[in-house]
Amino acid sequence: MAPTARTRLPGNSLAPLAGRQFVRAAVAEWTALALPAARGITDRLTEDAVLLVSELVTNAVVHAGTSVELRCALDGGGGDGRLSSLCVEVTDYHPARVLRARPPCDIDDELPRTGHGLRLVAECAESWGTTYHRTSKTVWFRLPVVPGAQRPPEAATAGDQALLRDLRVAEILAPAPRRAGDSPADPDWINHGALSFLAEASDLLAGQFDEDMVASLAAQLLVPRLADWCAVWLDTDGHVPRLSRVWHTSESRIETLRLTLEKDPPRPPAAALGSAVSWPWPGEPGAYGPGGTALACRLVAGGRGVGTILLGRAGLTRTPDEVVGLIEDFARRVALALASARQYTRQLTTSQVLQRGLLPRSLADIPGVERAIVYEPRGDTCAGGDFYDVFAGGEGRWCFALGDVCGSGPEAAVVTGLVRPWMRLLAKEGYGVGEVLDRLNRMLGEDAVEGAVGAVAAVATATETGAAGPVEPPDDGGPDSGAPRFLSLVYGELAPLGPGLGVRCTLASAGHPLPLLLRPDGTVRPAAFSQMLLGVMEEDAGYVSETFDLAPGDTLLCVTDGVTEHRRGSELPELFDDHDGLTTVLEGCAGLSAGGVAERIRRAVHDFGTTPPDDDLALLVLRAR
């Protein structure tokens, strides 16, 4: 059995360093044991492996945000001529990997975001690839161990290629990775294995919300099971197809193949919509390999074309009819997945444009005060139920707010979209902190808010169910309806006292996690007392504010419950703020800038659990200079 080392890394900024140390330790141990397969390990090979692991782990942490599994194996080759090699796999547990749009933030992530990870892998590795599962994604690479070995992948022995297929394809496709058309037993494979292939393909494609991810999955499902190479074009509004994905059993040919295919996209005849038609085998063996048979299949969903698949199989004069039928069935599933992904993308884009309007375009600079914001909405939205604002209130006052609408979705967004303008208007009209909260409380109970929330709920319900025509609101947004009219809010004013004298702070907390005041000596105390949620009582709730001075070096921290209630564990979950966890972390922030405090708190929240926060996370830091 090949020597193997495996570890799990945290989904935070410490993961790349831990991954580099793990690879070095594993290689050093195998070398110290004088294993036959390790005799060719050089310092250059070790550094290449460390570099590639660092890039891939960084990509996984930045884009997936989950823990990362790292596996290293030393393949000793064999009597069939295969070279010894170092095999490495990096697995994360977020197969969709949707990149979330992040609003402006005063904090720079410590993780590098070079964007060159896969390019480096392609340049340095002998071979590499990606394996998608229902709940994870693995990127793997192989480095030759024999000193000076520069064997191109296309010169690999048949046994080497078979081993790669066994390791990478068997985990995705069932049954064993034997290709259709290779033996007289293929009818049995078509009757049984093809059904498993289509079922697994449907499962992997279902729920993919990015059309390029669908194209990538389609190509890697087809290669090497049904083809030696494959390319997927996606139709665009400009009627010029876009080459989304190219895949080849020999990774070294992928870029050459892409450059060749981009010159001449396939255009199957209109009469062949949804059918796989024979296509001339291209005459550039440097990109495609030896001659064979090729098929082009138009991807059609709902009577409309969404793309084209072109695939080729070396060594055949024609593709068996059974395999053509299988490819057509597979193409229909791909087309449906692409159509769903495009619809989701359109809806998401519209939603994000509207959500960006819920966040302030800019934050006011307060004389004598540093500020920092961390805002991480849950999921793939750019604005959630949490909101923040810092603005000039007039007459030498600057106002700040951090709030959380009770609820989620479009209804919560409506409340956020109403509260922020009201709050700004009231502040600029000269109302004090307590008066602003009183008036917001009354406004949340008015019919205008109830009607707006109810109308949005009705539209959302109609969209989800596909209802046509006018739809009555599900309820009137009353107290028993569960509509998100309740709001927790920290709201305050800052008045500069003069250069080097700090600022006077007046604030109040309405049902919100209490703001904390950090002194330069590391002591921490609550800066307000808790009062009723906004929107619970329609009559005047009589909100009361507190006033105190922020001396130079004092720091005020405001957070939402996405920070204090972040959980770890399942049976008896522990909260981040249990046993004054937030206070303990803040005590260690004495002397840090506002940005440093915000980053320290954010990192502590993410390090607290093994999974990302399941709620919006927002915090506001104000530090007097």
At 341-389, the pLDDT tens digits run 988 888 777 766 766 667 788 899 999 999 999 998 876 555 567 889 9
Q: Which stretch of 163-177, 191-205, 588-602 has the lowest confidence by average pLDDT?
A: 163-177
Highest mean pLDDT among 121-135, 162-176, 181-195, 564-578: 564-578
Q: Give the pLDDT band of residue 569 (cuts 50, 70, 90).
A: confident
Tokens 């105190």: give the residue: 548
Q: What's the whole-model pTM score? A: 0.52
Check pLDDT > 90 for residue 118: no
Please tell me the distance from the alpha carbon of residue 386 to that of residue 404, in angstroms, as a whole number. Answer: 4
> CB of 330 within 8 A of CB of 222?
yes
Q: Once rounded to an integer, what is the mean pLDDT over residues 475-490?
A: 61
Check pLDDT > 70 for residue 107: no
Q: Which residue has the higher pLDDT, 188 or 608?
A: 608
Q: Once rounded to an integer, what is the mean pLDDT over residues 82-96?
A: 80
Please tell me the distance from the alpha carbon of residue 205 to that of residue 220, in angstroms, as a whole number. Answer: 12
Which amino acid does the sequence have at 523?
A: T
Q: Give the pLDDT band of residue 168 (cuts 50, 70, 90).
A: very low
Helix H or strand E segment including 311: strand 304-314
Q: Once rounded to an integer, what is the mean pLDDT over residues 382-408?
A: 86
> What pLDDT sits at residue 472?
45
367: number of Cβ within 10 Å: 13
Please tell me the distance from the alpha carbon of residue 330 to that of residue 323, in angstroms, as a whole number. Answer: 10
Please tell me the distance from the alpha carbon of residue 442 to that of residue 539, in angstroms, as a whole number. Answer: 7
Q: Quick check: helix, strand or coil at residue 46?
A: helix
Q: Once rounded to an integer, what is the mean pLDDT over residues 97-118?
A: 44
Q: Output b/e per residue, 205-233; b: 16+ Cβ within 10 A.
A: beebbbbebbbbbbbbbbbbbbbbbbbbb
Phi/psi at 128 (nearest 5 deg)?
A: -160, 170
Highest mean pLDDT among 115-129, 174-188, 251-265: 251-265
Check pLDDT > 50 for residue 586: yes
> What pLDDT sits at residue 336?
93
> CB of 55 within 8 A of CB of 123?
no
228-258: pLDDT as tens digits: 899 999 998 867 889 999 988 877 788 888 8
Check pLDDT > 50 for residue 13: yes
Report which DSSP code applies to 164. Answer: H
Tokens 């297929």: give the residue: 165
Q: Which residue has the higher pLDDT, 454 or 577?
A: 577
> CB of 207 within 8 A of CB of 345?
no
Q: Which stretch of 32-46, 491-505, 520-534 has the lowest confidence by average pLDDT?
A: 32-46
Q: Which stretch of 101-115, 117-131, 207-221, 336-350 has the lowest confidence by average pLDDT?
A: 101-115
> CB of 489 within 8 A of CB of 512?
yes
Q: How far is CA 337 from the centre of its chain?
A: 19
- Angle at alpha carbon of residue 85, lines to 20 and 57, rounded to 5°: 25
Helix H or strand E segment including 621: strand 617-624
Tokens 């539209």: give the residue: 459
Check pLDDT > 70 for residue 179: no
Phi/psi at 470 (nearest 5 deg)?
A: -65, 140
Please tell me the distance from the alpha carbon of residue 534 to that of residue 514, in angstroms, as a whole number. Answer: 15
> What pLDDT sits at residue 410?
64
Q: Give the pLDDT band of residue 262 (cuts 50, 70, 90).
A: confident
Q: Which residue has the higher pLDDT, 599 or 355?
A: 599
